[in-house]
């Protein structure tokens, strides 16, 4: 697969259809929308009510955590109560650590999700070299623990998701491949090979991470590896950004990761993970699924291959040179700039100081930007002949998808020219605030994850202050420009050991002024230590009502009563010299 195929995919990746209950995923099926219950799995009534609400909102598949055999056994009564209420929504059991809970769950549900990082492994962050024979012995041990589940799923005709999480890779994978997209892919393939040896094919893959750049690279790599392995490795893909958080930030981070992949033609089912009641996830997932065709390049292939584009599996920022635009410099690997159109700037000019962190850094019409149709060879030749680097953008072309148009521009103009990204190429386009936010995040965020872009312009959202806030929040969520505290917060589920929404709000209230500090808020230890690997501090449920605090991925304070835990987190940040008063 050359770069042409990677950067300008024609239509949607062809995947085999896998049935989850009566709902088909992949094949000719639409992109399916799913969610996960936040209710306690042992509370049948609460699980049934939440499931019915989700289905009423348009959720097509419902996932329920089964952390113990006892929980797994209760899936039977949840299923029976839903069927008695006339609801046939497919159910998925979410399994971490416990093969025996998986075996019990598989008797009652339509699909079992396993995490290859912890199904047959406990994570000790141990560092050791595995010889080939030791590695093979480890795979043998996994086969022994995993095959019974494969046989049971095959016998019952139910599906399985092999769901890798960046935060919970096994020590074996970490030591051989590191904490990398390649490690995530290999982790899933180890399990898929065992399933295939048993003649089982009803599999779906996912490669979730809380960092959209890592997630995008891992899914692209997975799709390429499956294509290389052969036409019968065409399993469907489940898309999601794990621990996206809440509010606008959670929606933006999800739209960046999921939107990027939909633009690549990847993805057969979506789950948006928000630290909010599960019903709020559904309209976001529906909006992204509906936007998928418009995010992709039209069926006709682009006329230019990826001449100046970086490899799609590794993040590499395009190496532009610096251009002075008025008082600010753009490009040269420096700060990504946020610009605004003149009419919006005029509406804000009397209150620039009140905008705080969300200030415009220049007026679009005053920048001397060269606007180019990326299909116009003459215009490309002219800018490439310029002795000095120039700030370039795609000119307004309402028919073209934003991502494809800017990739084509980046492939065609020499890398020395910095690029200004736009969220839309149709100046007349607009929609609701949430639509505008999701499309801006999907379009601009995807390109930032591709390493393309030195400045951004958000226009679809007409409200001047809100459009600037969207622009800055996209830069933050894609890791391109950090201007506020960064939170990695998991969605609640039945494993959660404290009220995540309240706790996240309390931690935000105490720490939201700590620019550039990254704090992870995790309900339990499934992804906790690993997803926190790039967080500075972590707040993790250790036992009911008790919290463990982490510095990086090292736990340093244990079993702190929940009532004191936020204050103790602040003390820990002080101890490490990262605190300052607001």
Across 535-553, average pLDDT: 86
DSSP structural state of residue 88: -
pLDDT at 123: 59
pLDDT for residue 444 is more than 90: yes
pLDDT at 228: 95
Residue 195: helix, strand or coil by DSSP?
Answer: helix
Any idea of the CA torsion for 296, 300, 305, 306, to the nearest 10 degrees? 0
What is the C-alpha separation between 166 and 184, in angstroms, rounded?
6
| Segment 49-103, tens digit of pLDDT | 999 999 999 999 999 999 999 999 999 999 999 999 999 999 999 998 899 999 9
pLDDT for residue 256 is more than 50: yes
CB atoms near residue 442 (< 10 Å): 31
Q: What percent of the chain has pLDDT over 70?
A: 94
Higher pLDDT, 16 or 133: 16
Tell me the domains of the chain and their CATH numbers.
33-242+252-295 (3.20.20.20), 323-477 (no CATH), 486-575 (3.30.413.10)
pLDDT at 5: 44
| Segment 278-313, tens digit of pLDDT | 999 999 999 999 999 999 887 665 555 567 887 777
Structure tokens at 415: 């890398």
Q: Rg of the Cα trace of the chain?
A: 24
- Computed over every residue of the chain, the mean pLDDT equals 90
Q: What percent of the chain has pLDDT over 90?
A: 65
Categorize the per-residue pLDDT at 358 as very low, low, confident or very high, splitting at 50, 70 and 90: confident
φ, ψ of residue 492 in degrees (nearest 5)? -65, 155
For β-strands 537-543 and 518-522, DSSP reports them as: parallel
pLDDT at 30: 98
What is the C-alpha separation between 43 and 26, in angstroms, rounded?
33
Structure tokens at 253: 């981070």
pLDDT at 127: 72
φ, ψ of residue 43 in degrees (nearest 5)? -100, 85
What is the C-alpha separation between 441 and 254, in angstroms, rounded?
9
Closest CA to 303 of 404, 216, 161: 404
Across 531-550, average pLDDT: 82
pLDDT at 6: 65
The vertex-23 CA angle with 17 and 27, nearest 5°, equals 20
What is the C-alpha separation between 30 and 276, in angstroms, rounded?
26
Categorize the per-residue pLDDT at 195 as very low, low, confident or very high, splitting at 50, 70 and 90: very high
């Amino acid at each position: 697969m050359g770069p042409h195929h990677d950067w300008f995919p024609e239509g949607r990746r062809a995947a085999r259809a896998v049935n989850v209950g009566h709902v088909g995923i992949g094949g000719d099926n639409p992109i399916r929308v799913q969610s996960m219950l936040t209710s306690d799995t042992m509370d049948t009534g609460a699980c049934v009510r939440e499931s019915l609400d989700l289905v009423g909102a348009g959720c097509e598949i419902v996932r329920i955590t089964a952390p113990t055999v006892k929980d797994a056994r209760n899936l039977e009564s949840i299923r029976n109560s839903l069927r008695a209420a006339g609801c046939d929504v497919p159910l998925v059991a979410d399994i971490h650590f416990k093969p025996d809970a998986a075996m019990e769950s598989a008797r009652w549900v339509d699909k079992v999700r396993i995490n290859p990082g912890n199904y047959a492994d406990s994570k000790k962050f141990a560092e050791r070299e595995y010889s080939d024979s030791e590695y093979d012995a480890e795979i043998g041990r996994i086969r022994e623990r995993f095959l019974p589940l494969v046989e049971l799923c095959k016998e019952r005709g139910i599906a399985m998701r092999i769901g890798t999480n960046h935060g919970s890779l096994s020590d074996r994978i970490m030591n051989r491949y590191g904490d990398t997209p390649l490690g995530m892919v290999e982790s899933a393939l180890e399990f898929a090979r065992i399933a295939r040896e048993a003649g089982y094919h009803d599999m779906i893959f996912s490669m979730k991470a809380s960092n959209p750049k890592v997630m995008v690279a891992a899914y692209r790599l997975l799709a390429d590896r499956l294509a290389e392995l052969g036409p019968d490795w065409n399993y469907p893909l489940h898309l999601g950004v794990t621990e996206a958080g809440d509010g606008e930030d959670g929606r933006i981070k999800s739209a960046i990761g999921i939107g990027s992949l939909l633009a690549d033609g990847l993805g057969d089912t979506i789950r948006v993970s928000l630290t909010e009641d599960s019903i709020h996830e559904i309209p976001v997932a529906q909006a992204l699924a509906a936007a998928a065709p418009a995010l992709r390049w039209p069926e006709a292939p682009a006329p230019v291959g990826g001449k100046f584009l970086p490899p799609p599996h590794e993040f590499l920022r395009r190496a532009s040179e610096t251009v002075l635009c008025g008082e600010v410099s753009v490009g040269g690997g420096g700060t990504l700039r946020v610009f605004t159109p003149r009419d919006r700037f005029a509406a804000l000019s009397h209150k620039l100081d009140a905008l705080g962190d969300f200030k415009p850094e220049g007026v679009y019409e005053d920048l001397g930007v060269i606007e180019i149709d990326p299909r116009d060879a003459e215009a490309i030749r002219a800018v490439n002949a310029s002795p000095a680097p120039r700030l370039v953008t795609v000119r307004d072309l309402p028919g073209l998808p934003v991502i494809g148009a800017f990739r084509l521009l980046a492939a065609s103009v020499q890398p020395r020219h910095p690029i200004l990204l736009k969220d839309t190429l149709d100046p007349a386009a607009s929609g609701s605030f949430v639509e505008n936010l999701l499309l801006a995040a999907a379009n601009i965020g995807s390109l930032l994850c591709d390493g393309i872009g030195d400045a951004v312009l958000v226009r679809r959202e007409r409200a001047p202050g809100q459009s600037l806030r969207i622009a800055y929040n996209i830069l933050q969520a894609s890791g391109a420009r950090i201007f506020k505290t960064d939170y990695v917060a998991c969605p609640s589920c039945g494993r959660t050991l404290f009220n995540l929404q309240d706790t996240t709000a309390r931690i935000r209230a105490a720490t939201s002024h700590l620019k550039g500090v990254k704090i992870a808020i995790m309900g339990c230890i499934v992804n906790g230590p690993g997803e926190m690997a790039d967080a500075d501090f972590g707040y993790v449920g250790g036992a009911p009502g008790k919290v463990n605090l982490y510095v990086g991925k090292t736990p340093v304070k244990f079993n702190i009563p929940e009532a004191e835990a936020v204050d103790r987190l602040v003390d820990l940040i002080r101890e490490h010299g990262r605190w300052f008063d607001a």
